[in-house]
A and B are shown apart, each in its own frame.
Chain A
Amino acid sequence: MVGFSRIGRRLGRTAIQAVPTVLGIVILNFFLLKAAPGDAADAMAAEAGSATEETMKMLRHRFGLDNTLLVQLLDYLNNLAHFSLGYSPRYNMPVLQLIGQRLPGTLILMVVALVIAVVLGLFVGTLMAIFAGRLPDRVLSIVSLLFYSTPGFWVGLMLIVVFSVNLGWLPSGGSGTIGSDLTGLPALLDQARYMILPATSLALFYVSVYARLTRASMLEVKTQDFVRTARAKGLSPTAVTVRHVLRNALIPITTLAGMHMGSMLGGAVVVETVYSWPGLGRLAFEAVMARDFTVLLGILLLSSLLVIAANVVVDLLHAWLDPRIGARA
């Protein structure tokens, strides 16, 4: 099919473009790791309790830490090529495996938050655009600006005060009832209960971003000729708004949603520490507290790759949604 081959070509081009970025990130990551205080030999010595100068020298030699920086960089790249991000003595397991355990938790949280943000943002933004300049628009604008200015972790804490402490409706942390033997649907509902507060506090900031963007781009699309045509041929206002205006206003929103993957990961770091959600962010926090830089930089590298992957997906989505985008580039 023509569509598939076009998307395939686009995928190839995007992948080639991503190579220098990935390489740059990997090299930056290596130098940050070198800049971090202490190396693997120090960590081993600390675990053992004591070490002589000779033992340290031997350890460094065994890990290749006495080589020149360039050789060490090549070693690092070689390890990465074999999907090894190093070993964490504290957790007693390879970093990649450790991250692999925590990644799904963060991804679920981010996807749920993104869905909440896009759906709610589109809804609020559409309302604002319909009532542009009138009272509902002004009130919603101020409310969305308020959420735009609120740190996610503080929203999280306030939601805990209201919904867990005072009302007792929702749990204040964790990812599931400990020791419960629920299976199937009840288990899923149980997990969903634990998901509501973290996902909401992560999403609120983005709700306001998407609401403002939807409002702006809908007002822009509204003035175009095809909308007048749709109205002139007798379509109902709802049909015009949903089928013609909103649909065309969606493209900048998908762009932004893809760009937000990185900042949402950052938000997840803080929100996960609030709700002790077992994800990548919580792991990053633990790694910072333990000064475990191998784990911390592994997270940085993997989350950057995640952002690149998200950008590729958005690119492909665009090429599929709007054929002109693929043709122009």
Chain B
Amino acid sequence: MSSIDDVDAAHRGEGAIAVIRRGVAATPELRKGAFVTILLAMIGAAGRVVIPVLTQQVIDKGLTGPKVNTGLVLAASAAGAVVVVITGVIVRTTRVRLARTSEQALFGLRTKAFDHIHRLSLAHHTEERRGALVSRVTSDVETLSQFFSWGGVAWLVNGAVIVAVAITMAVYDWRLALIAIVAVLPLALILRLVQRRLLAAWDLVRGRVGDMLSSVGEAVTGAAVIRAYGVQDRTIVKVDEAIADHQRSFARAGSLSALLFPSGEVFAVLTISAVVVAGVWLGPGAGLTSGTMVAFLFLVNLFLEPVAEFTEILDQTQTAVAGWRRVLDVLDTPVDVAEPSPHESVELPDGPPELRLEQVSFEYLPGRPVLKAVDVVLPASRSVAIVGATGSGKSTLAKLLVRLADPTEGRILVHGVDLRSVPFADLRSKVVLVPQETFLFDTTIAENVRFANPSAQPADIRLAFYELSLDDWLDSLPAGLETRVGERGEHLSVGERQLVALARAYLANPTCLLLDEATSAVDPATETRLARALESLARGRTSITIAHRLSTAERSDLVLVMEAGVLVEVGSHDELLARGGTYAGLHSSWMDASSLSATAAPAGDT
């Protein structure tokens, strides 16, 4: 199984160009209108050479003659000003176009990465630290956004300026132009050499950001436990360590690029010196004028300044590329539980399905099977209970039945169709799991229930609660259906959250229903009510319940008994009881536990 971490590892040390190529391929939005934008940037860049050309004209034709030519100086200056204004407008247009394109592209990248994370199997969600996942669609993409709004613009505009200046220099004097261009080569070489080390340094920073956010996340989500155990100090120390690690890596990467930065400055003065010496040596006989020489003083700066600026934006580019790579790695993580290809996908027939497990095994970690060769048929329209001790593999079995993961070995057939060839939309509408841990979204009860069926009307939602005999509970809430449940549903008790989850499942109207201990935390009165409602809900459907309470098993058509990943017993409640095996043992201890009160109850109370 290949996880995000594996993809990260495979791409560690990948060069910037490779990442950018991968990035542009993944975000075609970047190419849209790129030609016009580049053209505009070129025209805008031409505006930069106005000053050297103007100065040269003024010196040669206006100032160094016997008398100052005021008319020419004024005309040239006015023309220069007009060109500056026009190119200013063009530069603005270029920048707005760039911003639109890049933000549009980032929007695409962000939503693609988000969708892809949801497509990954849940095995990843438990492996991967969530804080790190969130940071990929937020802070990593944000780093890119900041890059595009400044560094990215600089790359394009500077590139255009370099070309425009090089052409101007060559027109004035090719020999001096050659000196300036040759001087850039060692500079570019140094930049390339340092680039990889910088990239690694910024990569480390990004990783440390993820670790830091994870530890901060723990300090916040664990607020109740941290207080209940008075471990605030310990938590602060732990978070501070992660913060310090991040701080150190950041200072190191930043200092590395600080050393690199002024190399452009140093090269500029060296090149100017070389050009001056060469110009003086060549002299007026070579067709040079004092105006041209002064123009070169400016042109060399104009030429090297963008190159120097490249070093300034280089570290920003490194950060951005590192962030980009991390987002792309999300997209490149293979979907291990994949949608079947159209030509091999089979829609499930309507009606309650029969489920057939053929030698199904599963392991989260290689060599540590959680399910071992489970082989059983769950008949259509029947209620099945799966019982067993904690950790016996019941929940994993449920996950496989709704294809949150695929069996490591063997296969599962629904209506005789391999689960792997059923399109997700079809499967999810027909086989619905109510997970052990109820998660509600920070919105109203109505919205949380509607989650199962976005087209449901308030009346449908109310009906769901009514059918489950939960309407009186609903009415007891301050705002009824419109009651806000808080983050993760924390304004409701755990039991109440489960009521909402059951209404949600009801509204989904599946032909096969899986309940994973969903009723474990409701008080007995509510549970009894729910159990009965669920029974009527289960009628006409295939229902599979994983419950710790054996009362569910008692009234099921078929009971599966799991032990350490192995299916040890299958049969009806009565059969299994008569057999005197594992189930009989579980049942008698449960009877003892739940009947303690009955022995003490005064007769005639019922």
- Whether A associates with B in a native complex is no
